[in-house]
Amino acid sequence: MNKRQTGLLILAIFFLIYGFYMLIAMPNLLDKELAEGYVSILITYAVFSVVSLYVCNRSDFDIFEPIVILLIMYFGIFVYRPIQDIINNDYFTFGENVIGGCVRANIVVSVSIISFCAGYYGKYSWGRKKRYVANDSCKVIETSSTDIVLIAQVIWWVSTAFLLLYLITSGKNLAYIFSLGKSGLASDDTTSGSAALTFFAYSMLAPWMYICVYGKNKGYKILLTLLMAIIYVVRGTRIVLLIMISAPILYYYMIREKRPKLKVILIGVVSILFFMSFMQFARHGLRTGTTTDFTDFSSSAFNNVFDADLTTYKQFYAIVEKYPAQYKYTFGKAMIVQTLVTMIPRAVWPGKPGVVIEDVIANAVNARAASAGMASPGIGEYYFEFGIIGCLVCMFILGMIFRKCKEILKKSNTIDNAIRYSVLYGLVFQLIIRTSTASCVYQYLFTILPIYLITHLRIKKSDC
């Protein structure tokens, strides 16, 4: 039995054991609605298990491919957490019972996973397909790494300046920023009118990677890394920190055409979760300008990092229950209109439409949930925009997008593609766990544009 077969056997045994646990853990005194919801989650789990085994059994399976993230996150959000919450009688959000949408939500999730796989594994192409030749006789060679580092530094420092400008206009002075809130001044009453500047956090990632790969001054690289980490922590956006941590690790393995062992993966995941829990603990104080006492950090913060993302299923259940039964679908207001107007400052257009998800959460749950910034998984936006048909179509398209990412992964033994995939990989999380196509579009653009500039502006020569 080879490693692949052994891995499949272990995975199948895990699915059987966890499925058996779900059956025997089902409370005896559930009312009809809860019992139907519980059974619908079991059916979703069965679909999830079959799809997961199919994915892992494919000859082209790669632990780093994006479908792995989707399956892990969907298992946590739509299987593990709702089952545990029903067992623990914790299926309320802001005082609202959300189980009414459980059955329909699980139908939507199950068929959407299948639709995603159809887009991910289908033999579809958009545009003219370029043939990739691994060992082309005519190779492009860099004349010097100096031009790459120079371009990367310019992009990095310009992006950093814009992000610092956002933080300053949000009421934080430089002393507060670079002391991580231990000194200096900050105001939680100041609202920046230039929120679009936050996207420059993403345009810092690829240049930083290029500087780390091509740069020769270790002290300078360490300095940039520390500055970047401090600014990201004060900004309080977890996803850019996640990318900053994961990108060098992914790059290390991809450029060497190796993959980590299970023990290394587990250690890495635990380490990242610990760091993200620290961020979850610190981000509120740093974002609102209040002093953060890091001595209060405890194991409870480690548990809270899961709540932020895994409990988004509750908002999704509520959305499915209320749309379209009580409210009409929004038909593109979030995915299309909001994407088009996101970069327009409210100072220029005071009447710019608000964030659609806030109104949706207020309708589906209540105003308190909306004001608290509660979110829904990415599939939630597809649903309240266009219903179950929208989920099928959008998940199919998402599958095609992820397939294009996998094509980059297949060619990641080159520096450019390894950097490209390593910084894009973390954005996959955002597409899955958060409802905001508009933000994801600009996150992607600000992440990929520096790579385009670096690869097209640098001096090249050919050995032909």
Write the DSSP string, 40-83: HHHHHHHHHHHHHHHHHHSTT--TTSHHHHHHHHHHIIIIIHHH
pLDDT tens digits for range 289-326? 555 555 555 555 555 666 777 899 999 999 999 999 99
The Cα 204–Cα 159 span in angstroms is 6
Residue 413, both tokens: 């033994």
Give the pLDDT score at 140.
42
Beta bridge partners of 436: none
The Cα 324–Cα 182 span in angstroms is 48
Specify the 3-state DSSP secondary structure of 344: coil
The Cα 403–Cα 388 span in angstroms is 22
pLDDT tens digits for range 177-221? 777 767 666 665 445 556 788 899 999 999 999 999 999 899 999
Give the pLDDT score at 355.
87
| pLDDT beyond 70 at 142 | no
pLDDT above 70: percentage of residues in the chain: 84
Task: Name, of 5-9, 94-98, 455-459, the range with top average pLDDT.
Answer: 94-98
Which amino acid is it at 9? L
Residue 223, both tokens: 């300095």
Give the pLDDT score at 236.
73
- Determine the average pLDDT of the residues in 382-402: 95
The helix (run of H) or strand (run of E) holding residue 142 is: strand 140-142
Give the pLDDT score at 143.
44
In this structure, the number of other CB atoms found within 10 A of the CB of residue 65 comes to 22
Give the pLDDT score at 295.
55
The Cα 30–Cα 52 span in angstroms is 30
Which residue in 161, 159, 179 sits closest to 169, CA to CA?
161
Residues 34, 98 contacting (CB under 8 angstroms): no
Specify the 3-state DSSP secondary structure of 145: coil
| pLDDT beyond 80 at 381 | yes
The Cα 179–Cα 276 span in angstroms is 20
Residues 405, 421 contacting (CB under 8 angstroms): yes
The DSSP line for 175-217 is HHHHTTTSSS-B-SS---S-GGGGGGGGGGHHHHHHHHHH---
Which amino acid is it at 33? E
Confidence at 463, pLDDT banded by 50, 70, 90: very low
